Copies of this chain bind each other. A is one copy, B any other.
């Protein structure tokens, strides 16, 4: 499981992606309300994302946050990583939270290691080809689909 932190980050950045035209920005308060994220917690998350270089901010009245890159170029895997969410199922196959397996004498001889590596690859494959723009597109498609099935 990824932490809520990461999920909130994806939600918040998606909100920013939806207004991405000419560096339009949104305030923490606006995003928090829209996405139902605890305000102060979101503040901490966005600050972190800013330090990671994923977003930029403008201080003062009518300030706020905006995306640095195009929604097409911001991948879910990058957001999860920037917010400390592990994708791998065990530490010895994690890129960002790697820890040696004290129980396994040789990593390269471990069958479980090999399988978990495959799982990680499969997950990362999906998460690093899906961008914020894709997420928005998917939502549009899902909405159209539900509209049609209601007829």
Contact with B along A116-151 (1 / 0, CB 8 A): 001100110111001000111111001100100000
Contact of A90 with B by CB under 8 A: yes
8 Å CB interface, A27-75 against B = 35-37
The verdict on A89 contacting B143 (CB below 8 Å), with A10-B112, A103-B37 known, is: no
CB-CB contacts of A5-19 with B at 8 A, as 1s and 0s?
Answer: 001001100100000
> How often does this chain occur in the complex, in copies?
2
Using a CB–CB cutoff of 8 Å, the interface residues on chain A facing chain B are 1-2, 7, 10-11, 14, 35-37, 76, 85-91, 94, 97, 102-103, 108-112, 114-115, 118-119, 122-123, 125-127, 130, 134-139, 142-143, 146
Contact A109 B146 (CB under 8 A): yes
Q: A135 near B123 (CB under 8 angstroms)?
A: no
Given contacts A1-B91, A2-B89, 6 further A-B contacts (CB under 8 A): A1-B94, A7-B112, A11-B103, A35-B103, A109-B143, A122-B126
Evaluate contact between A2 and B90: CB separation under 8 angstroms.
Answer: yes
22 A-B interface contacts by CB (under 8 A):
A1-B1, A1-B97, A2-B89, A7-B90, A11-B103, A35-B103, A76-B115, A87-B89, A89-B123, A109-B142, A109-B143, A109-B146, A110-B142, A111-B135, A111-B138, A111-B139, A111-B142, A112-B135, A114-B138, A115-B127, A115-B130, A115-B134
